[in-house]
Amino acid sequence: MAKFLFVTDLDNTLVGHDQALAELNHLLSQHRQEYGIRIVYATGRSPILYRQLKAQKHLLEPDALIAAVGTEIYLNGSDTPDPVWAERLSQKWNRDLVLAASAHFADLVPQPESEQRPFKVSFFLTQTAAAEVLPQLESLLQKQGLETKLIYSTGQDLDILPRRSDKGVAMQFLQKQWEFDSQQTVVCGDSGNDIALFSVGEERGVIVGNAQPELLQWHWSHPASYHYLAQAACAGGILEGLNHFGFLK
Ligand code: GLC
Ligand code: MG
């Protein structure tokens, strides 16, 4: 059994089905002890909301936490975001100008303060308004020379990030540091902000059975033999996918 890098989203991917989560946790901690696999959580949550989830659910201690949609990386339980990653994202990012541009759109409703991060500005945006607002906002940001990336998830959350960030590139940063290639990496997700995990390279990908329409649509329009659409929901789907790829032999 070779070691591998296990990267998973939290809400509605790893978390959402307690019994399957307990089973998966058991297998993963066994594999971590025996084969030295690495566990990474890649979440949209800020560290504040991550700690709230941790207080409610039994989560294994990850080897790294990718938080705030890939804009913050915390290694080995550290409370300080990785400075190399932060420095990289700070180039060509101007948070105040992003906020000023967003203020032109009445449909953008700011998310709670805890989710406004140094490299992430987040709003609620309805699906109906999104079709009109997203292209307009994108072109305004571009016109102003702001190098940003818009990520829309679950038909309600809009994140504006520096162009060189998302969960996928953050995952690659760890891969490089720990020397895992795409065949030794499995990524798991359910929604729009996870698409970057599946599209950045050729990692083994598990799309859980309860995935959101935006991820399913992406999956169907980008067929790849190294992506697996599970039947089961949440951690049950991850278990199914890990078995499919032979990672849990
Ligand atoms: C999490 C974050 C939120 C973000 C969403 C989608 O719910 O708390 O800020 O918009 O993920 O990425
Ligand atoms: Mg999710």
Using the mean position of ligand 1's atoms as its centre, give its distance from the Cα of residue 46 in Å: 8
Interacting residues of 191 by C-beta distance below 8 A, sequence separation 6+: 9, 12, 153, 154, 211, 212, 214, 215
pTM reported for the whole predicted model? 0.97
In the chain, CATH 3.90.1070.10 sits at 92-162
Residues lining ligand 1, Cβ inside 6 A: 44-45, 49, 69, 111, 115, 122, 153, 157, 159, 193
Which tens digits make up the pLDDT trace of 155-200? 999 999 999 999 999 999 999 999 999 999 999 999 999 999 999 9
The CATH class that applies to domain 5-87+165-244 reads: alpha beta
pLDDT at 249: 75
In the chain, CATH 3.40.50.1000 sits at 5-87+165-244
CA distance 104 to 238: 41
Residue-averaged pLDDT of the chain: 97
**Given ligand 1 and candidates 157, 190, 195, which is best to mutate, with the most ligand atoms within 8 Å of its CB?**
157
Topology annotation, domain 92-162? Hypothetical Protein Ta0175; Chain: A, domain 2 (3.90.1070)
Ligand 1 atom having least distance to the Cα of 115: 9
Which tens digits make up the pLDDT trace of 124-151? 999 999 999 999 999 999 999 999 999 9
